[in-house]
Structure 1
Amino acid sequence: MSSADKNLSVFNTNDLPDISDKKFGILVAEWNSEVTEKLFEGAYNTLLQHGAREKNIERGNVPGSFELTLGSQWFAGREDIDAVIALGVVIQGETKHNDYINHAVAHGLTNVGIKTGKPVIFGVLTPNNMEQALDRAGGVHGNKGDEAAMTAIKMLGLKKNISGGFFF
């Protein structure tokens, strides 16, 4: 379902786990900061709204979306980090750079999650233009940052359920 048909900030909040003792690493790409700062605000506020402690949310900045993969690996490699949220935006331009970057980042973040066994969330917008990006960063289609934070919370809940009630 496209975000044109679903608001990114509306989700089911039934049966969310207690995240008050969980630590989150949020990586934010500096490229297109007008958008990525809004994604960060959404993710940060959603985590707080659902029980995360401010002291347990750590932010890291990377130059662009391509660097989210390595930054996520560094965060996920830390024993004290329970989940990583990677936030960026790659806007389609006159060249195909976005195809290469988006594919590399999606593949890289997936690999980091598999390698570490921790939720590593793809919170990267892939719009055709700036207007679409802003629409998905707190605009008419909600905020992908909200969705990314909620995904991290739900993945931690799944991990808890699968492990018999204990986080590993």
Structure 2
Amino acid sequence: MASAQKNLSVFSTDELPDISERRFAILVSEWNSEVTEALFDGAYQTLLQHGAKPENVIRGNVPGSYELSLGSQWFAQRDDIDAVIAIGCVIQGETKHNDYINHAVAQGLTNVGMKTGKPVIFGVLTPNDQQQALDRAGGIHGNKGDEAAITAIKMIGLQQQVYSKF
């Protein structure tokens, strides 16, 4: 496996936009909380590190990853929210349950972003087992919550570029 000894949370932070006045919602699934809490911490700290004010980062909880789509829509519909980061973890089991959940969440979050015109970021891990999840939630492969936050920031920057007047 190519990722066996590699930190996968390597990304460029060149030319990030000013987010000091931007507001973010981070929606966190309570299912697999050991993993999702670590992902939340990564996303939250990354937003602060790059200029977000603590009072401009709102957290919401949902029971499981399936509920991330509707929760994200509720936050994205608010005029005072600039981007939504959806945090979850669906671990493969002995049935195909995870396939249905992962597909529904990916499609649902995509639809919310398209409907609202706001960045709605897929911060959902889809690992084969608990160890893979932990490895990607602050373990040897970095923290995918960090990446979700950087993605939200970059999408805000792109949105500014697209809608700015020349």
TM-score by length of 1: 0.95
Q: Deviations over 1:6-27 (max 9, x none)?
A: 6343210111000000000000
Contact 1:123 1:148 in 2 (8 A): yes
The offset of 1:158, in angstroms, is 0.4
Percent identity of the aligned residues?
Answer: 76
Using a 3 Å threshold, how does the CA distance of structure 1 residues 117 and 165 change in structure 2: closer, same or farther? same
User: Given residue 152 of structure 2, which amino acid in structure 1 is its aligned partner?
Assistant: A
Structure 1: where are the runs of 5+ without partners?
none
Instruction: Please give the alpha-carbon distance, in whole angstroms, between the structure 2 residues aligned to 1:57 and 1:80.
Output: 11
User: Given residue 130 of structure 1, which amino acid in structure 2 is its aligned partner?
Assistant: Q
Using a 3 Å threshold, how does the CA distance of structure 1 residues 6 and 82 change in structure 2: closer, same or farther? farther
What's the Cα RMSD here? 1.5
Name 2:89's counterpart in structure 1.
89
Instruction: Please give the alpha-carbon distance, in whole angstroms, between the structure 1 residues aligned to 2:7 and 2:150.
Output: 13
The offset of 1:164, in angstroms, is 1.7
Instruction: Please give the alpha-carbon distance, in whole angstroms, between the structure 1 residues aligned to 2:13 and 2:165.
Output: 19
Question: Per the alignment, in what secondary structure is the counterpart of residue 68 of structure 2?
Answer: helix
Contact 2:119 2:152 in 1 (8 A): yes
Deviates more, 1:114-123 or 1:6-15: 6-15
Using a 3 Å threshold, how does the CA distance of structure 1 residues 98 and 114 change in structure 2: closer, same or farther? same
Name 1:42's counterpart in structure 2.
42
The offset of 1:3, in angstroms, is 5.2
User: Given residue 84 of structure 1, which amino acid in structure 2 is its aligned partner?
Assistant: V
Structure 2: where are the runs of 5+ without partners?
none
Name 1:31's counterpart in structure 2.
31
Q: Deviations over 1:133-163 (max 9, x none)?
A: 0000000000010000000000000001111
TM-score by length of 2: 0.96
Q: Which runs of 4+ in 1 moved over 6 A?
A: none
Instruction: Please give the alpha-carbon distance, in whole angstroms, between the structure 1 residues aligned to 2:7 and 2:123.
Output: 15
Instruction: Please give the alpha-carbon distance, in whole angstroms, between the structure 1 residues aligned to 2:3 and 2:30.
Output: 23
Aligned residues: 165
Name 1:76's counterpart in structure 2.
76
Instruction: Please give the alpha-carbon distance, in whole angstroms, between the structure 2 residues aligned to 1:31 and 1:165.
Output: 43
Using a 3 Å threshold, how does the CA distance of structure 1 residues 165 and 20 change in structure 2: closer, same or farther? farther
Name 1:66's counterpart in structure 2.
66
Instruction: Please give the alpha-carbon distance, in whole angstroms, between the structure 1 residues aligned to 2:6 and 2:165.
Output: 32
User: Given residue 110 of structure 2, which amino acid in structure 1 is its aligned partner?
Assistant: T
Matched, 1:98 2:66: no
Using a 3 Å threshold, how does the CA distance of structure 1 residues 162 and 72 change in structure 2: closer, same or farther? same
